[in-house]
Structures are given as C-alpha cells and as structure tokens.
Amino acid sequence: MTDSLHLAHTYQLSHSALAAIRTMLNAAFDGDFAEEDWDHGLGGVHAFVEDEHGVAAHGSVIMRRVAHAGRSYRVGYVEAVAVRADRRRQGLGGRVMAALEEVVDGAYAFGALSASDDGAELYRARGWQLWNGRVEAYGPDGVVHLPDEEDSTYLRPAAGRPLPTADAGALLFDWRDGDVL
C-alpha cells in the first residue's frame, strides 16, 4: 500500500476514522494531547496521510475570529499537526500542510498557528512568519494578554492578501476552553 492523502471535514469522517486520528495524535504527542487539544482540531477540514499501518500524519484547519486594528478577520487556524514517530522526516508533514494551506488560501483572510519548538522549522520553511507583536484573547472577564504565545504564533498570508502588522496593534483571538492558542 502506498501513502494516501485524504482531505475531509470533521462531519465526513466516521467514528473509527476520528478514533484512529486521535490515537495517532496521542502517540505522536507522547500522551500530552488533552481533550481540549482534540476539541480544538474538530469542526474544520482535516488533512491526513494513511499508510499500511494506519494514520501516519494529520493536521486540521478550523475557523477562528481574530480582531486586529479595528477589524475582525476569519482566520484559518491550523491545529493538531503531527506525524507518527516512525514516519517523521519523510515529507508527510509538508504534504499535510500543503493541503491545509490550500484550504487557508481559498477560505480565509490569513492562516495562523501556534508552533512547538519542534514544529517551527517546518512552518518557517513553508513561508509562515513569526508574529512579532502582542498576542491577546477575549476571555470570560475581558481581554487577556498571552505573552507565552508571542514567540510561537505564526501567520501565513492567504492568496496574496496582506498580513496584519504588529505596529498596528495586537492580535486578539477568540476565546476557547483549554489553551487559548
């Protein structure tokens, strides 16, 4: 069996397909993939690669709202990107990201993600740019500053549209349970 890339919205995936993706993510993140992390990756488009052993790589892009400089943007936020340990450094992460970037280009003002130290190299190599400004989120009690996200938030222009600039103000993300970004 050769590697096959699949692209599907959450609602199109069977319970067994979602369970297989979740199992791979749990293993790829060494058991550090919480229920909130899983929830953050649902409700959008999934790109995943299957091989003869099951799900080998996965990522999803979901819609988030980001306010910046007096405007609200529909942003394609990339979540749950991982490659199974035995398939790393074989280009599968790039295949998944290429499919997700196509979704971002076609449906959103720009792409955003929060990168781990291990993942940042992949995103930079694909043209994602480190946001060098303030990151905030709407919270239950008002706006919350997220300084820990300011060195790991990456943006990608979609289909030639300009990116927000740090000199025009903070990126203000919508609130969600668990890690906000």
Q: Give the per-residue pLDDT at 138.
A: 94
Q: Give the per-residue pLDDT at 1.
A: 59
Q: Give the per-residue pLDDT at 86.
A: 96
Q: Are 148 and 116 in contact (CB under 8 A)?
A: no
Q: Is 51 within the bounds of a domain? A: yes
Q: What is the pLDDT along the chain (181 residues), one digit of tens a residue?
A: 589 999 999 999 999 999 999 999 999 999 999 999 999 999 999 999 999 999 999 999 999 999 999 999 999 999 999 999 999 999 999 999 999 999 999 999 999 999 998 899 999 999 999 999 999 999 999 999 999 999 999 999 988 788 999 999 999 999 988 777 7
Q: Is 115 within the bounds of a domain? A: yes
Q: Is 164 within the bounds of a domain? A: yes
Number of domains in the chain: 1
Query: What is the DSSP code string of 106-172?
Result: HH-SEEEEE--HHHHHHHHHTT-EE--S-EEEEETTEEEE-GGGTTTEEEEESTTPPPP-GGG--EE
Residue 10, classified by CB atoms within 10 Å of its CB into exposed (0-12), middle (13-18) or buried (19+), is: middle
CATH code for the domain of 63: 3.40.630.30
Contacts of 46 (CB under 8 A, 6+ apart): 6, 7, 8, 9, 10, 13, 21, 58, 59, 60
> Which tokens in the block code for residue 156?
């990608």
Nearest to 98 by CA among 25, 141, 49, 37: 49
Residue 8: give the domain boundaries: 4-173
Q: Give the per-residue pLDDT at 66.
A: 97
Q: Give the per-residue pLDDT at 104.
A: 97
pTM of the model: 0.95
Q: Is 26 within the bounds of a domain? A: yes
Q: Is 12 within the bounds of a domain? A: yes
Q: Is 178 within the bounds of a domain? A: no
Q: Is 45 within the bounds of a domain? A: yes
Q: Is 180 within the bounds of a domain? A: no
